[in-house]
Chain A
Amino acid sequence: MPWILGSGSSEVSALPDPLLHVQNLRTYFFTYAGIVKAVDDISLDVSKGETLGVVGESGSGKTVTAQSILRIVPSPGKIVDGTIEFEGKSLMKLREKDMQRIRGKDIAYVPQDPTSTLDPVYRVGEQLSEVIMRHHVISRKDALAKATDLLRSVEIPDPEIRISQYPHELSGGTKQRIAIARALAGDPVLIIADEPTTALDVTIQAQILDLLKELKNRLNVAMILITHDMGIVADVCDRVTVLYAGQVCESGTVEQVFEKPKHPYTQALLTSVPNLALRKEKLSVIPGNVPNLIEPPSGCRFNPRCPYAQQICIDKVPELEPIGEGRSVHCHRWKELDLKSPVAS
């Protein structure tokens, strides 16, 4: 069992009022080509009412982390190690039946692609009341009334008409709003939004983000916002966890990370965000590609692409080190590097 020999437990500094506590999560995919270590020692925390941004490139393990929390990792994926605690109880130990009570009620999920997230054969109202009736003792009529209210709360015009329409009659933005309404249907305390704006065009993206912010403030619901867009993180999130190749690079509040990134990867990510103030001709890119997760690079996984890499980065896996003020960094050289933020004023 090689994963037991890994970097070991590294306590992320305690936060007030923890709602979700994920520690040393490892989710592997057992494919014919080999074991894909999609999530390899990821820890993160979300407190009540807080919005955590989870940032990373494609293949960094963002979505698999979210699926692991809900225990809906598709086959051949398996959670092989780690603890997931939600409101103090371990989700890993729950039976599937009890887990079904949590999905959609306590923890809701907003999927990435709104076009196919609604069942084409049912009216919108039926799909929303399905969730409401699944998690509440309520009559069909009241559930439909509640569905209408939900649509109104996600700012869909004419909700009375929308609930009797079929998904193919609706636009992408409306479908994503309905997906958000469905996530709200169980009165969740935590919403996991998996790139909720990626499949939408820019103006609709802005509307959906405004809606998420508004809901967060109004309902005081905690949120994990998965994205690859640092701009969205700066706009919506309170704290951020940066993932790279299935591991955490660093986490901290948005201000901390944007003002003073500690990990070279975070710095590189911030550099590649378009910035009008800098007025550069060309966008900078991070050289190289996301590593193969069947045989990841030895030591720190970012070392082949890291401009500051030294021998120790190849030899030794760094620890996720708490550095105070609720921050933690996964780098051997963070102290001596003393990185500068490309976006800090």
Chain B
Amino acid sequence: MTSDRKMAQTTLEQRPAGGHRVSQWALAWRRLKKNKVAIAGLGIVGIFIVMAAFDRLVALYPPKCILGVSPACQLDGRLHSNSPPGLAYPLGTDITGYDVYSEIVYGTRAAFLIGVGATGLTMLIAVVIGLAAGYFGGWMDNLLMRLTEVFLVIPFFLLLLVFLQVTIKLAPANTGSIWLVVFVIGAFSWPGAARIIRGEVLRVREFEFIAASRQIGASSYRILFRHLFPNVLHIIIVLATLQIAASILTEAAVSFLGFGAPGSNTWGQQMYNSANYVEQAWWGTLFPAVFVTLMVMGFNLLGNGLRDALDPRLRE
């Protein structure tokens, strides 16, 4: 009781001149903060961001440093190839003699590049198609949704492998580039997101404030970009977060199967390089996989938390 009265007093005294001016985003952030699992996801992603930004500081050795051979990491002057985890290399070394831990740290940047790059392309396509189909409707909706369905029924992963293989055969000059993998993943991952965005546009389109915008003389494009887009942005954010995780996972799988960019230093590529020696040196394959799992988990937890925080149907 006393605490109640105390609270009432403080609010009365500290009452601002009027309302509190809280945006929907601030409310969403408050809800997100209460969600411990989502904050854990955010923490994991945050740690990975630090790892990627300061990889030289976090890693034990310079990149591509053969332990015992390269001048920067002489150790005892003996080649440490496929050595089990020890004091000098906490996660062991791979066949070449690289420190598995340091190489994983250097792979973080590539993981972000793949995740964010492929997601950027995916969401760009999905947003354009989803907005256009949902807002204009009619034949445009029909055309775009049938196209989306065509992409949906093709087995995505198989298509990805075939496409990568064909491009490698046709244009060997590009094979070293991770951008090709990013582009292909991005170009084929959009159909699901496009459908969800279209559905959300169909819902938001019926709100009175869209009609009100027309009544005050706003043009179609203004309604589309100023009123519809910000109101479906919450779903785009959630989809993008989950898509980052999916893209990283896809790249790891593609690389592990040997269809990735050979010159790149991604976690999937590290797993692929060590896969033949898994009997002698399981750590070369297992630990990159653990980091893939951790990062994907981080983004998924964050994405699920964002969905709970941003979904207007769950708003109080």
Spell out A's residues near B (CB within 8 Å): 70, 72, 74-75, 97, 100-105, 108-109, 111-113, 115-123, 130-131, 134-135, 158, 160-162, 164-166, 168-169, 179, 182, 185-186
Contact = CB atoms under 8 A, between A and B. Distances in A.
B142 to A, nearest CB: 14
B20 A103 contact: no
B12 interface: no
Given A108-B216, A115-B208, A121-B230, 10 more contacts: A100-B217, A101-B217, A102-B217, A103-B215, A109-B215, A117-B212, A119-B227, A121-B24, A121-B233, A186-B216
**Most chain B C-beta atoms within 10 Å of own C-beta, residue among A97, A102, A131, A158:** A131
B165 interface: no
Nearest to A122: B230
Interface residues of B, number: 27
Given A113-B208, A119-B209, A120-B24, A169 B215 contact: no
B17 interface: yes
A134 B19 CA distance: 28
Interface in B124-156: 137-138
B96 interface: no
The 10 closest A-B pairs by CB, nearest first: A161-B18, A104-B216, A103-B217, A104-B217, A109-B215, A116-B208, A121-B230, A100-B217, A119-B209, A117-B208
B212 A75 contact: no
Nearest to B25: A121
15 contacts: A103-B216, A104-B217, A109-B216, A111-B208, A111-B211, A111-B212, A117-B208, A134-B217, A158-B17, A161-B19, A165-B21, A166-B23, A168-B24, A169-B20, A182-B216
A158 B218 contact: no
Nearest to B208: A116
A341 to B, nearest CB: 36
Contacts of A105: 217
Contact of B218 (A108, A115, A117, A134): A134
B216 A166 contact: no
A115 B18 CA distance: 21
Contact of B216 (A122, A131, A169): A131
A200 to B, nearest CB: 14
Contacts of B20: 169
Contacts of B138: 75
A67 to B, nearest CB: 9
A162 B231 CA distance: 21
